[in-house]
Amino acid sequence: DAGVIQSPRHEVTEMGQEVTLRCKPISGHDYLFWYRQTMMRGLELLIYFNNNVPIDDSGMPEDRFSAKMPNASFSTLKIQPSEPRDSAVYFCASSSQGAREETQYFGPGTRLLVL
Amino acid sequence: AQRVTQPEKLLSVFKGAPVELKCNYSYSGSPELFWYVQYSRQRLQLLLRHISRESIKGFTADLNKGETSFHLKKPFAQEEDSAMYYCALESGGSYIPTFGRGTSLIVHP
């Protein structure tokens, strides 16, 4: 398994543009998480899904952010319109509610810069 | 509400020195604690968990319920230990971790 896959790895855009980040979780995992990492705030949980259903989106900063999971193998995080303060590294992670030894597996992250 | 506090944003030590990354938590139930590590240009990954009582790459962490702490320790730091370290807490059975803000460890030669 290639692990959690994210695309793009880097994104540079101008303020006001729409940004879409993509994630493919590990096959068989039933939880998917979106995180944002910044120097100031560390790692913040934005939203998570269980069996493709959004469970908790209280971490989503504002209405400009939205996330979807149309099927078990794909999720998107969209920012529209983007702002410079959205610049951060966005991580996707997946996990399984199976054996207790399971933990979160992180993707490589998407480094977003909004000019 | 559960909370994880890592009081140090940056910890700088010399090679061979002991290192301790602090983690304190607040949670009324029985927590499950983890340490994650992110090396430069690599993805965040699990380092160790308290239920395993294991030593990984020379690191250990003991859950102290009295002090509500889960500090990460290594007796002799190596340059390759330089990384970002996150402490995380899961409330019983939730599978949803709460992360601290992270501590950047720099080990100088």
Pairing of strands B45-49, B32-38: antiparallel
Residue B99 and residue A91: Cβ atoms within 8 Å?
no
pLDDT confidence band for A98 (50 / 70 / 90): low
CA atoms in the 13 A half-sphere facing the CB of A6: 25
From the list A21, A53, A50, A26, the residue with the least C-alpha distance to B96 is A50
A80, two tokens: 């529209």
Query: Across all residues in chain A, what is the average pLDDT?
Result: 92
Query: Is the pLDDT assigned to residue A100 strictly greater than 80?
Result: no
DSSP B80: G
- For the stretch B67-85, pLDDT in tens is 999 999 999 999 999 999 9
pLDDT of amino acid B27 = 87
Residue A91 and residue B44: Cβ atoms within 8 Å?
yes
pLDDT confidence band for A112 (50 / 70 / 90): very high
Residues B83/B36, Cβ–Cβ less than 8 Å: no
Least confident of B14-23, B32-41, B47-56, B57-66: B47-56
The answer to whether A45 contacts chain B (CB < 8 Å) is: yes
Between A and B, how many CB-CB pairs are < 8 A? 41
